[in-house]
Amino acid sequence: MKSYQEAVQFHGHSCPGLAMGYRMTKAALEFFSTERAVDEEMVAIVENDACGTDAVQFLSGCTFGKGNLIFKDFGKMVYIFYHRASGKAIRIGRKSSFRTKLSDTQISSEERINLILTSPEKDIVQIEEINIPEPEYSRIFDTVLCEICEESVVESKTRKLNGKIVCIPCYEKQKKKEGN
């Protein structure tokens, strides 16, 4: 398991959000008795894009660039992990009692981080086994050349414009010119 200090190096700095993401992801990996995903063995569905998601990426190997980090913009400190080998999924969140403890305005950010890193897992996280369909594997599409800028673009992201196959930025630029 990667250490918190290593996660800090990836994120750039230490903060309560990263520490919480670290504990939540660690708990998830332990639940599945699994290591970091080399490829797409695990999928994380994150319900926010705050600091803790960098711990998700770093610890679990569910990364933005590998297609196994799915973002749902719900603003909730909740992660869902799907483990392909077992077909099991868990929904992991903070315990409300721990959230209340952290919201004490008398404690510093440093103390908050320490509290998160040192409290027993059962006091911090709440894990629920859930049933969800297996997420799709990420797909690789063919690329074509945009007929305006001549840069390569993934075929599934092209637009048709006056009989030409173009990329989205060229399409938008042209539409803006035309006043649409």
Q: How far apart are the C-alpha atoms of 55 and 109, rounded to whole Å?
A: 18
Task: Give the nearest distance from C-beta 86 to its own copies in angstroms.
Answer: 19
Q: Which amino acid is at 39?
A: D
49 HSE (CA, 13 A, CB side): 7
C-beta of 20 vs 27, nearer to its own copies: 20
* 3-state class (DSSP) for residue 34: coil
Task: Give the nearest distance from C-beta 111 to its own copies in angstroms.
Answer: 19
Q: Which residue has the tokens 């063995």?
A: 41
C-beta of 38 vs 85, nearer to its own copies: 38
* 3-state class (DSSP) for residue 8: helix
Binding site for its own copies (CB under 8 A): 10-13, 17-18, 21, 36-39, 47-58, 61, 63-67, 69, 71, 73-78, 93-94, 96, 99, 141, 143, 150-158, 167-169
C-beta of 10 vs 137, nearer to its own copies: 10
